[in-house]
Chains A and B, each alone.
Chain A
Amino acid sequence: MATAGLSAQRTGGLGAAWRNPRVRGIIYQIVVVGLLAALIAFLVNNTITNLAIRQIRTGYDFLAQQAGFNIGEHVIPFAPSDSYGRAIVVGFLNTLKVSILGIIIASAIGVLMGIARLSSNWLLAKVAMVYIEIVRNIPLLLQLFFWYAIISQLLPNPRDALVPVPGFALSKMGLQMPALIYDPGQTPLVIIFLISMIAAYFYYRWARRRQAATGREPKLLLPIIGLIVLPTLVAYLVLGAPLHFDVPTFTRFNYQGGTSITPEFLALLVGLSIYTGSFIAENVRSGILGVPWGQSEASSALGLRRGQQMRLVVLPQALRIIVPPTTSQYLNLTKNSSLAVAIGYPDLLSVTNTTLNQTGQAIECISIMMGIYLVISLAISLFMNWYNKRVALVER
């Protein structure tokens, strides 16, 4: 045995090659890639056989066919006579709509609750803790079903809808809201409003530069409010008050006029925001705790009030701890919006699922759907990485 081993070592040969890490690495890679290729070939081969047996024609030309089903909610016009391709785009836009709104609301909830969790007020901190610990530990799908059941079954009929603010009505049919009626005077009004916003922004930048140069703090709040409100108000009066709202009114059986938010969308938005908000709150909390206590002490030595300490000193530094985990929460929210399929909101997944059931093009539909989700995930990651770089530069 020993002599055999020795001679193998001396003569080189296979044994020696195996002992060379580089050769071994190459062999490992060849084996892994070979196995993977064999697996893929096996699956593809099976798929081709199965498709032949079931006589399914592959290809993406079904996208141009007439869809034939209706989509209850659409950002762009859609009718059953439109194509499957357009239906999928409508679903994609619905996913984007609920994700973007959800991200905004969840961030607001998260920041408020995260700060509340660390409040010096014991009662507030406990309330925030109870919210976080309950919501985080119950499956999102269960919460969505719960909200949907509450909205669609326990809320009153449209006849005696809840009216929290005049013009808004909450009922089994969803939320009815006033809608803006088009008026030609609106365009100049909007333009003037935007211009005054830009002017206010430049005034803010000028004030900040002046404060940095002279150390004196120019008046901020009143001039900015004045800059925004006054020109818009004057324009509004001059243009003959061009803002009219179509307020929903209850007729015999249902609400007429205004716009409405469907119960499905409402349940999805509420569920996603509350659920993701609890995770973001934890991120915010650990971000704030990650900023050394000395920072708060130093800023209070400089005479900053608690609100100012939080806004000017602690939060900017906490952001670089908060941003990376919050990015993945945004990604989760977007992916979780696919649970819409369970409560009947026509998002990307639910529309693709309908398409799949009608056409039987499983491979095509699922690949389109997964491809789109991958692109969305990638886009959010890229944007948040860019933002992360920006906040990271703030520190030394």
Chain B
Amino acid sequence: MQQVDHLTTTPEAPPRGSSGAFVWVRKNLFGSIFSSILTLVICGLIIWFVPSLVEWALIKAVWPGAGADACRAASGEGACWAVIGDKWRLIIFGRYPFDEHWRPTLAMLVLMGTVLVSCDRRFWSARLIVVWILGMLVFLWLMGGGFGLTSVPTGLWGGLPLTMMLAFFGMVVAFPLAILLALGRRSSLPLIKVVSVVYIELIRGVPLISLLFMGSFLLPLFMPAGTTIDAVLRAQIAIILFQAAYLAETIRGGLQALPKGQSEAADALALGYWKTQLLIVLPQALKISIPPIVGSLISLFKDTSLVAIVSLSDLLLSMRQAMGDPVWRPFFVEAFLFIMLIYWAFCFSMSKYSQYLERTLETGHRRR
């Protein structure tokens, strides 16, 4: 008790001139002549730029509810947030039937719920696979209809739900493929190794957009005569094939970081190849590669926007379609900023999550 009391006595003040706001400013803003000049220049730019930005975005802005005429009157002076108020449902849901918008909303919530559950480390187990399969089925049911809901053809799917579906479905379906490819690339069986390497390098060597073109021009040729494949499905297949190759390389990084002693010990316990991989190697290797896997999901989320080029109304294209309205067309900057914010919110939160994981998962499995 006494000791504690001793420790809680007020500490002596630090030497003068080593703390406080003034010292901080001198050290971090005016540390040297060059640094001082930089600070002054940046401050000048901020003073020049920020007030006019605030004036444009907030003070003189036209808020939702107002009409396009009010925006036209304020054109060049203030932002036209009214365009978002008028068009947000078209941007978020695309051409999905207006009266049924509760379905994609619910579907997105289900998908988000599944993602959030997967983010919590307490739920990391094989049961997540079941959760994901269920989540995806419910999503497809809500979007597509059937079983009591009116059916909505995929041609009308669009906006954020489509973007989320392409990204998260692409990731989840590519995952087992990627594990097989990563194991195949490190396999001692020469033919399997060659097949994996060729596949991975071929896909990684070409742009995603060329794969999407291949999906829309060549896939119909590859299928038995008379069968038609849905455009959304074609894009989803191209994205899965693409993501599998990139994810395989990410997982291979984790496999390589694992000390060889782990699989040698499994050999010594007389475990076979699959038992070694499933029980010993993969759980540790996947854990190491989870942060880069999240990074790869961020890239995929951004890359889904490329389906706009093959005319799928994802968030990007549905925004452009919504802005085709001649009344609101001049205010495209605000619409751009709106969906930039949506994409940014998704990607930024994922990257923060990945950084958090990197900090908490570090338990010394890495090869030193």
Contact = CB atoms under 8 A, between A and B. Distances in A.
Interface of A: 21, 25, 28-29, 32-33, 36, 43, 46-47, 49-51, 53, 119-124, 127, 133-134, 136-142, 145-146, 149-150, 153-154, 306, 335-336, 338-339, 341-342, 349, 353, 356, 362-363, 366, 369-370, 373-374, 377-378
B191 A137 contact: no
Contacts of A119: 35, 38
A20 to B, nearest CB: 12
What class of interface size applies to chain B in its complex with A?
Answer: 35 or more
A150 B351 CA distance: 28
Interface string B187-208: 0111110010000001011111
A172 B42 CA distance: 29
B42 A335 contact: no
Contact of A122 (B28, B190, B220, B302): B28
B221 A377 contact: no
Contacts of B351: 136-137
A339 B340 CA distance: 18
Closest 3 CB pairs of A and B: A137-B347, A122-B28, A139-B302
27 contacts: A25-B189, A28-B192, A29-B191, A29-B192, A46-B221, A46-B223, A47-B222, A49-B224, A50-B221, A53-B225, A119-B35, A121-B28, A121-B35, A121-B38, A122-B29, A123-B38, A133-B348, A139-B303, A139-B343, A142-B340, A150-B333, A153-B332, A335-B207, A349-B207, A366-B213, A373-B206, A373-B210
Given A121-B31, A138-B347, A335-B207, A46 B192 contact: no
Interface of B: 28-29, 31-32, 35, 38-39, 42-43, 188-192, 195, 202, 204-210, 213-214, 217-218, 220-225, 273, 298, 302-303, 305-306, 308-309, 316, 320, 332-333, 336, 339-340, 343-344, 347-348, 351
Contacts of B210: 338, 349, 366, 369-370, 373
Contact of B316 (A120, A142, A349): A142
Contacts of A47: 221-222
A141 B302 CA distance: 9
A120 B31 contact: yes
A342 B213 CA distance: 13
A302 B220 CA distance: 68
Contacts of A28: 189, 192
A119 B28 CA distance: 9
A338 B214 contact: no
Contacts of B202: 374
B305 A123 contact: no
Nearest to B332: A149
A277 to B, nearest CB: 16
Contacts of A29: 189-192
A28 B183 CA distance: 14
Contacts of B306: 141, 339
B26 to A, nearest CB: 11
B192 A32 contact: yes
Contacts of B222: 43, 46-47
A18 B225 CA distance: 40
A149 B323 CA distance: 12
B339 A25 contact: no
A49 B333 CA distance: 49
Contacts of A137: 298, 302, 343-344, 347-348, 351
Residue of B204, B208, B213, B309 with most partner-chain A CB within 10 A: B213
Given A127-B42, A133-B348, A339 B209 contact: yes
Given A28-B192, A142-B336, A145-B316, A341 B309 contact: yes
A262 to B, nearest CB: 20
Given A121-B28, A142-B305, 19 more contacts: A25-B188, A33-B191, A49-B224, A50-B220, A53-B225, A119-B38, A122-B29, A123-B43, A127-B42, A137-B347, A137-B351, A139-B303, A141-B305, A141-B306, A353-B213, A370-B210, A373-B207, A377-B204, A377-B205
Contacts of B302: 137-140
A369 B217 CA distance: 13
Contact of B344 (A21, A43, A134): A134
Contacts of A49: 224-225
Given A145-B320, A338-B210, A377-B205, A50 B188 contact: no
Contacts of B339: 142
A392 to B, nearest CB: 18
